[in-house]
Amino acid sequence: MHNSGEKIEKRKNLICELVEDEAYVPMKEKELAVFMQVPKEERAALREVLQMLLAEGRLQVNGQGRYSKADENKPVGTFIANARGFGFVEIEGREDDLYVPEDKTNGAFHLDKVQVMLLPGQHGKRQEAAVLRILERGTKQVVGTYEQSEHFGFVIPDSSKIGKDIFVPMERSKGAVNGHKVVVELTSYGDETHKPEGRVVEILGHVNDPGVDIMSIVRGYELPVEFGEKVMNQAARVPDEVSEADKQGRLDLRDVQMVTIDGEDAKDLDDAVSLSVDDKGLYHLGVHIADVTNYVQENSALDWEALERGTSVYLVDRVIPMLPHKLSNGICSLNQGVERLALSCLMTIDGRGDVRDYQIAESVICVDRRMTYTSVKKILEDRDETEIAACRELVPMFEQMELLAGILRKRRHQRGSIDFDFAESKIILDEKGRPTEIKPYERNVATKLIEDFMLAANETVAQHFFWLDIPFVYRTHETPDPEKIMKLSAFIRNFGYHIKFSGEEIHPKELQKLLGRIVDTDEETLISRLTLRSMKQAKYTVECTGHFGLACQYYCHFTSPIRRYPDLQIHRIIKEQLRGKLKEERLQHYEEKLPEVAKHSSKMERRAEEAERETDKLKKAEYMEERIGETYEGVISGITQWGIYVELPNTVEGLIHVSTLPGDYFVYDENTYEMVGRESGIVYKLGQKLTVRVRGVDRLMKNIDFEIPWEEQEGR
The per-residue pLDDT for range 191-212, each reduced to its tens digit, is 778 889 999 999 999 988 888 9
At 96 the pLDDT is 82
Residue whose C-alpha is closest to residue 339's, from 363, 322, 358:
363
The mean of the pLDDT values for the chain is 91
Q: Which runs of consecutive H residues, i.e. helices, occur in 535-564?
A: none
Q: Is the pLDDT higher at 51 or at 196? A: 196
Tell the burial category of 77 from Cβ atoms under 10 Å away from its Cβ (0-12, 13-18, 19+): buried
| Contact in structure between 116 and 129 (CB atoms under 8 Å) | yes
Residue whose C-alpha is closest to residue 485's, from 477, 495, 493:
493
The per-residue pLDDT for range 208-266, each reduced to its tens digit, is 888 899 999 999 999 999 999 999 999 999 999 999 999 999 999 999 999 999 998 88
In degrees rounded to 5, what are phi and psi of residue 709? -60, 140
What single letter denotes the amino acid at residue 541?
T
Torsion of CA 102, 107, 109, 115, to 10 degrees: -90
The per-residue pLDDT for range 558-616, each reduced to its tens digit, is 999 999 999 999 999 999 999 999 999 999 999 999 999 999 999 999 999 999 999 99
At 4 the pLDDT is 66
| Contact in structure between 244 and 236 (CB atoms under 8 Å) | no
| Contact in structure between 472 and 570 (CB atoms under 8 Å) | yes
- Which residues are bridge partners to 117 per DSSP? 130
* pTM for this prediction: 0.86
Torsion of CA 597, 602, 603, 605, to 10 degrees: 120
In degrees rounded to 5, what are phi and psi of residue 708? -90, 120
Tell the burial category of 411 from Cβ atoms under 10 Å away from its Cβ (0-12, 13-18, 19+): middle
| Contact in structure between 324 and 317 (CB atoms under 8 Å) | no
E strands of 433-589, at which residues? 435-441, 474-476, 539-541
Residue whose C-alpha is closest to residue 29's, from 56, 57, 65:
65
Task: Return all residues near 629 (Cβ < 8 A) that are at least 6 apart.
Answer: 693, 694
With vertex at residue 451, the alpha carbon angle to CA 448 and CA 457, rounded to the nearest 5 degrees, is 145
The per-residue pLDDT for range 608-627, each reduced to its tens digit, is 999 999 999 999 999 999 99
E strands of 2-66, at which residues? 59-61
Residue ranges of domains in the chain, CATH in brackets: 3-69 (1.10.10), 76-136 (2.40.50.140), 141-209 (2.40.50.700), 229-473+556-612 (no CATH), 627-714 (2.40.50.140)
**Long-range contact pairs involving 514-523 (C-beta distance under 8 Å, separation at least 24):** 515/418, 515/419, 515/420, 522/687, 522/688, 522/689, 523/495, 523/686, 523/687
What single letter denotes the amino acid at residue 608?
A
Average pLDDT over residues 652-659: 94
Residue whose C-alpha is closest to residue 542's, from 602, 609, 456, 481:
602
Q: Is the pLDDT higher at 75 or at 514? A: 514
Q: Which runs of consecutive H residues, i.e. helices, occur in 552-583?
A: 565-578
E strands of 403-527, at which residues? 424-429, 435-441, 474-476
